[in-house]
Amino acid sequence: MIRVTVWNEYYHENPRYEHATTKAMELHPNGLHETVAEIVRELGADKVTVRTAWQDQPEHGLTEEVLSNTDVLIWWGHMKHHEVADEIVERVYNRVMEGMGFIGLHSAHHSKVFKKLNGTTCNLKWRDGTYERVFTTCPSHPIARGIPEHFELGVEECYGEFFDIAKPDDVVFQGWFDIGEVFRSGCTFTRGYGKIFYFQPGHETNLAFQNPYVRRIIQNAVEWCYSDVKAPYIGAPQIKTTLEDQRLEKAEGDYLRFF
């Protein structure tokens, strides 16, 4: 069972905020977190349990208890990245190091968590209202299962290179935009024991989350990002290994038996 938490800043489509837009509220009547949670739930109740959390909740909905019971965290944020408390960022970062999967969607590229995981600015070029075609550039990757060599995404916000990220493990998808830009739209990374996937489509007023291939990619990514590492995280504090002593004792025993 994969325990998924879908996190959202819950701003553009939240009627509590005067900056909320009609289009975003229409597209995500129960919040963008519910839009994405619904996609993940399609994996089936025998495979996933899904909960949601958002920024205005105490501790941004990401308490120690929630995170220690999360195998894969999906993140959508845009305007309020700077209001995410550093303490929570640290908590999420540490859980990724311990093996929690992390999926950053669309403008999550500028979230504090994603920037910390990359160690770079994660800046990019952008323009709204362009047309995007997505190419599969790593067809053998598990996240590309069931995805054709390219598909038409339609109207989507253009994200362009140079995208200032750490060198990805794999660039699974690449976007082409009708204004001439290209972008590494689907990238994987490994940090500590955690597997990370960044995926560019998903602007709040466009239809990306209704695209069947986008939905399949998010579902594939949830399965790929899951890991059940049993080893204690070796990062900080560092732990003393006993394995070498055991190997030496065994080798010595084998040697003495030989004579």
Residues that bind Zn ion (CB under 5 A): 107, 157, 203
Task: Report helix, strand or coil for 168.
Answer: coil
Residues 6+ apart with CB under 8 A from 56: 10
- Answer for the pair 24, 204: CB distance below 8 angstroms, yes or no: yes
Q: Least CB distance from residue 196 to Zn ion, whole Å?
A: 20
Q: What angle separates helix 212-225 from helix 32-41, to the nearest 10 degrees?
A: 70
Cβ distance to Zn ion smaller for residue 98 or 204: 204
Tokens, residue 72 = 């894969």
Q: Least CB distance from residue 170 to Zn ion, whole Å?
A: 24
Cβ distance to Zn ion smaller for residue 159 or 197: 159
Q: Least CB distance from residue 245 to Zn ion, whole Å?
A: 54
Residues 6+ apart with CB under 8 A from 3: 48, 49, 51, 69, 70, 71, 72
Cβ distance to Zn ion smaller for residue 107 or 185: 107
Cβ distance to Zn ion smaller for residue 9 or 34: 9
CA separation for the pair 30, 80 (Å, rounded)? 19
Residue of minimal Cβ distance to Zn ion: 203
Cβ distance to Zn ion smaller for residue 183 or 193: 183
Q: Least CB distance from residue 204 to Zn ion, whole Å?
A: 6
Q: Least CB distance from residue 106 to Zn ion, whole Å?
A: 6
CA separation for the pair 4, 41 (Å, rounded)? 9
